[in-house]
Amino acid sequence: MDSFKNKLIDILINGKLITREQLAAALDIQKNIGGSLGKILIWQGYVSQKDIVIAMSQQLNIPPINLSHYQIDKSLIDLIPEKVVKQYLIMPISRIGKMLTIAMVDPLNIFAIDDIKTLTNYQIQPIIASENDIKEAINDYYGAAVEEISDMLEEADVSDIVEVEKGEGEEHINVSEVAEESKKAPIVKVVNLILNEAMKRRSSDIHIEPREKFLMVRYRVDGNLEDALTLPKKNQNAIIARLKIMSGLDITETRMPQDGRFKISFEGKEIDFRVSILPVTYGGKIVLRALDKSSLSIGLDKLGFLPRPLSTFKAALARPYGLILVTGPTGSGKSTTLYSIITQINTPDKNIVTLEDPVEYEVEGITQIQAKPDIGLTFASGLKSVLRQSPDIVMVGEIRDFETADISIKASLTGQLILSTLHTNDAAGAITRLIDMGVEPFLVASSLVLSSAQRLMRKICPSCKEEIDIPKSVLEKAGITLDEAVGKSGGHFFRGKGCPRCNNTGYHGRFGILEALLIDDKVREMIMKKSSSDDIKDYAINQQHMLTLRDNALENFISGVTTLEEVLRATAKD
């Protein structure tokens, strides 16, 4: 079938709507600056959108529609996600039996038609509409939820909100029961709806971002940010005030960053929210990190780690003392791993103390200390005091400086098991990082039991998982031989096609990959000689048979857990 561009050219030339000179000029502009040929023709005044729609309708024998004169059935909006209609520039119009009529800018886009057919389980009847009409319809109909929220916000102002919850500090609410909130101030209902929707989407973070003319709400799902709502600018202060009150913060402070927390109940689970407010150009940006305590009780075995690195990690944890490091960038799951360890080994015969900034999860049975650098309670000073209380296990939120590193290492040499994190790219990099901080190599070699690195990867959505062919050349470029792939997977590879359950991303949920470097006698010798991290890593791969992060990722790809694209996104080549 001809491409949309070629068909459009034929229609416009044969219909004598543009001349070949005008076409050549438009193609020249497209070559230099890019963009849609149809848009360029319209911008140049050679043709109107209405002319294009009518001409295409006549030539393709597909009926046109003026969406501004058509009342769309609102029940159809739930059939196709907003992300999909924006991607393909389509709009569901009507439904008769098993036939769904959709308005399209490009009715020749068979990929769009096939995807909508799979997504909805309806036969698709395309009709033609202009791009402007479709965009306006998307804003009108898919923005209905925002209009509903805006209607609620019309009824509230900041003084109303302060009166509702003034002085209560931390609050415990059940956002699942939104219907029961109808008697509260409208702003309360709106904030609860935002939280409720975030939890339904499995969001780990909620970003509430003031822009020049509106307030943007975005959710981070499986590591990726997604636009969720656009709220009226006039209600910005009300929403920020409500969240500050829930978090026990000062609603009058607008110039300085603030941190707080609150709890909600959702579907029988208790969710902690860690709140960060940062003054920005157009107001206060709020980021809420959702912390689900139930995820801590599943243990190390359920985090998705492969058996070999997991067994190495467990062997290190069996040691009564020493230093164990978990490394990786922000958002790689380090805290979840450490909390899972502590929850698993938390027994009455152990004195477990954590020193954190901030305390993310509250765990019963352990002593947790919030670092407060502004009053002198740093990791280093706090750790000195903690060690006077005879702890068996100490978790230090992060080793950031020489003093914290030095005290942690010396404590690990005197009978404590110290767990902490570092921001390095791989396990071997943690060793050189400690030495770069100023720690003597002999102290690192004597204290360090295990250095690990981890990342989070997205799982293929089980609801839309499908088999795909991947060329041999692509596999080899990624470091996989065809024989290896066939031997482990039978040559079967998968992806997620996209469905409503995964919001058309093809992914649903995440799992961890782990690189575990055990500090044996040879590694200690290399540390003493100040060998490079690359040399230490090479030894671990060749002699300890350590699986690198890329090896872990490829194993999960070959076994059908994730995609090759995700492997390349989440890990670097060794």
The confidence score (pLDDT) of residue 177 equals 45
pLDDT tens, residue by residue, 116-146: 888 888 999 999 888 878 887 887 777 544 5
The confidence score (pLDDT) of residue 157 equals 44
CA–CA separation, 133 vs 50, rounded Å?
Answer: 10
The confidence score (pLDDT) of residue 562 equals 93
**Judging by beta carbons within 10 Å of its beta carbon (0-12, 13-18, 19+), is residue 135 exposed, middle or buried?**
middle
Residue 499, φ and ψ in degrees, nearest 5: -155, 170
**Contact present, 327 and 368 (Cβ < 8 Å):** no
**Contact present, 452 and 338 (Cβ < 8 Å):** no
Query: What's the CA angle centered on 555, arms 551 and 561, to 5 degrees?
Result: 135
**Contact present, 483 and 491 (Cβ < 8 Å):** no
Residues of the chain with pLDDT under 50: 1-2, 144-145, 156-171, 173, 175-184
For strands 123-128 and 283-292, give the pairing.
unpaired
Residue 475, φ and ψ in degrees, nearest 5: -65, -45
The confidence score (pLDDT) of residue 34 equals 61
The token pair at 516 is 């575990």
- 553 beta partners: none
CA–CA separation, 287 vs 284, rounded Å?
Answer: 10
The confidence score (pLDDT) of residue 310 equals 93
**Judging by beta carbons within 10 Å of its beta carbon (0-12, 13-18, 19+), is residue 240 exposed, middle or buried?**
buried
The confidence score (pLDDT) of residue 181 equals 40
pLDDT tens, residue by residue, 248-296: 888 888 889 999 989 888 877 788 899 999 998 888 899 999 987 766 6
CA-wise closest residue to 499 among 83, 76, 198: 83
The confidence score (pLDDT) of residue 180 equals 42
The token pair at 454 is 């981890």
